[in-house]
A and B are shown apart, each in its own frame.
Chain A
Amino acid sequence: MSDTVLRRKVTGTPSRSGRRLRRRDLAEGKVSWPLTILLVLGSLTVLVPLYFTVVTALKTPAQLGGAGFGVPESWTWSNFADAWRLTNFPQAAGNSLMLTVGALVLTLLTNSLVSYAIARQMAHHKVFKGLYFYFVSALFVPFPIIMLPVVKLTAQLGLDNQIGLVLLYTVYGLAFNIFVFVAYIKSIPLELEEAARIDGASTWAVFWRIVFPLLAPMNATVAILTVIWVWNDFMLPLVILSQRDDLTLPLTQYVFQSQFNTNYTVAFASYLMQMAPLLLVYVVAQRWVISGVTRGAIK
């Protein structure tokens, strides 16, 4: 018993779910061990490719061969150094980080504001209702139809760089973000806003001082999805960026693929270095990420 409690603490299960579990045990029977085992086995489909990536990144080319699932005989850290140099990792990582942070900040500041105006006015004014459908319908416009014209447009405007990309991520995220923000804002009672107005606050002040802080849970959801999207995105940087110095991490994997083809161990070290930052953040913040995404789904 104390063993399970301990394990639960270690895995970070919130005590609430522990209580629920016990209540259900009483009501509906015991924990299903066969199901647990089945799901653990199923999770190997996720873990094995990750394990494979790690061990391959640590091998020498001579140790490759066979199915490749064996543990490396000696750990070869030089693969990481080689990948670091070959892909110019610091620059690519810096670019990816800048894009992600830029898109994140701009998205949170603007998308929530637009959603607020639409959510509060769409019941009163047809234009706002129309805007809601205008933005959300973009969910169903495939990127390839925009791709060719927008590349010309950004090139003409001198936005074929990171600034342009940050702008595009912010704009292209609008469709989905308005969808989730508006549903959430509608569930926030008006009373607080009205009280602030009576005290003389302007509409802007009401948004920044009252509504924006109330949006924290939804901001977290949108933040998580934006970070995952921008950090991993391949197609948009591929078509927009024109300078080699602007390459993002996924792009460097693509650009150096021909050199990797003869050098799998360095390639895997490089893959791991692209995956690691987000994976680490995820392992630390796992609970919030999952509850954040779930919240986005239910609202």
Chain B
Amino acid sequence: MATAAAPTPAHVAPPPEPPDAPRPLRPPSRVPRAFWWMVLPAVAIFFVFHTLPVLQGIFFSFTDYAGYGTWQFVGLRNYLNLFGNDRIAHSYLFTFQFAIVATVLTNALALTIAMGLNARIRLQTTLRGLYFIPNVLAVLVVGYVFNYLFSNSLPVLGQALGVEWLSTSILANEDLAWLGIVVLAVWQACAFNIILYLAGLQTIPGELYEAASLDGASTWRRFRSITFPLISAFFTINMVLSLKNFLQVFDHVIALTNGGPGTATESISLVIYRGGFQGGEYAYQTANAVVYLVVIIVLSLAQLRFLQSREVES
């Protein structure tokens, strides 16, 4: 997965000269027909169920379509209306705040735990197995369990400890509810990132550390000069995928707060879902989705460029 940047043993294929080719006169770029048949059905189906909906979405974002009945072109009106809309502005603000905090926390925690799990410890296999468990559980279902913990168990603990802000459910608190969503998201996402970082750490030859400790390098120094540069490709891919996934947060919100209290934790996905399916705002929300698509692509590319330029540097 991470290997966009990792060098795969570049397999340089010989010039295509299929052994069954009768004449050497064949143009060199001739692809055996079977290969076309292998990809054509997939391309067709992918186009119909993925690309076409994207194009349709973009198309309808310039109309006043409600999801049924007739429609007319309205130009950029949907897009212009998006800007004055407080609810949508707030959903972007919430989603970004959540996604940035969750991305940073997830990667910091996952890298730390992965380094621990890669060190000389007992119960290594068992511990690795335990830390991966959240990844095999459904976010929605775990979210309902966390919901109970946040709204019933934690307040009891908070009262016993005399901690004011914990004494009531944080999910019912407009300013704190997003933290609950961060906790659930980080808890769940760490599992997968730990495994990816572990995979990265295992590609580092142990001799490097031996040499470094002979030179008297401190733990921090070894991390800065060996570990981090050598897993930077994994760091890049984890950061980009985390941010992209967290920007699409949906199940977490449904399970914990359902967007509340009020609209305090409505994510962009939730607004599109609600407005599009229940609010008769089909065209308006597809315009929102188009903006959202652009935002995600721009952010991912920017992040990729920035992180990869640092990779080269180190």
A residues at B contact (CB < 8 Å): 4, 11-14, 17, 21, 24-25, 27-33, 35-36, 38-40, 42-43, 45-47, 49-50, 52-53, 56, 66-69, 110, 113-114, 116-118, 120-121, 123-125, 128, 131, 134-135, 138-153, 167-168, 171-172, 174, 176, 179-180, 183, 186-190, 194, 197-198, 200, 202-204, 207, 228, 231-235, 239, 249-250, 253-254, 257, 260, 264, 267-268, 271, 274-275, 278-279, 282, 286-287, 289-290, 293-299
Contacts and interface: CB of A to CB of B under 8 A. Distances in A.
B178 interface: no
Contacts of A144: 248, 268-269, 272-273, 289, 292
A143 B113 CA distance: 31
A128 B31 contact: yes
A118 B130 CA distance: 37
A45 B133 contact: no
Given A49-B145, A148-B277, A149-B286, 11 more contacts: A28-B213, A32-B119, A39-B113, A46-B131, A121-B31, A135-B46, A140-B297, A145-B292, A190-B11, A233-B138, A297-B200
Given A56-B148, A294-B199, A171 B133 contact: no
A125 B88 CA distance: 45
A174 B120 contact: no
B63 to A, nearest CB: 12
A185 to B, nearest CB: 9
B199 A297 contact: yes
B129 A148 contact: no
Interface string B124-162: 111111111111111111101110110011001100100
A49 B146 contact: yes
B124 A35 contact: no
Contact of A234 (B117, B202, B251): B251
Contact of A239 (B9, B42, B57, B273): B273
Contacts, number: 315
A140 B133 CA distance: 26
Given A49-B146, A187-B8, A148 B300 contact: no
Contact of A183 (B3, B49, B140, B286): B3
The interface residues of chain B, by DSSP majority, are classed as helix
Contacts of A207: 38
27 contacts: A17-B124, A21-B120, A21-B124, A28-B209, A39-B116, A40-B127, A49-B146, A52-B153, A120-B35, A121-B35, A142-B289, A144-B272, A148-B277, A148-B285, A153-B52, A186-B11, A197-B19, A232-B139, A250-B141, A257-B144, A267-B144, A274-B138, A287-B125, A294-B195, A294-B202, A298-B6, A299-B1
A76 to B, nearest CB: 17
B247 interface: yes
Nearest to B293: A145
Contact of A147 (B2, B12, B187, B272): B272
Nearest to A174: B46
A53 B145 contact: yes
A228 B136 contact: yes
A70 to B, nearest CB: 11
Given A143-B248, A145-B292, A250-B141, A187 B285 contact: no
In the complex, which of the residues A116, A142, A143 has the most CB atoms of chain B within 10 Å of its own CB atom?
Answer: A142
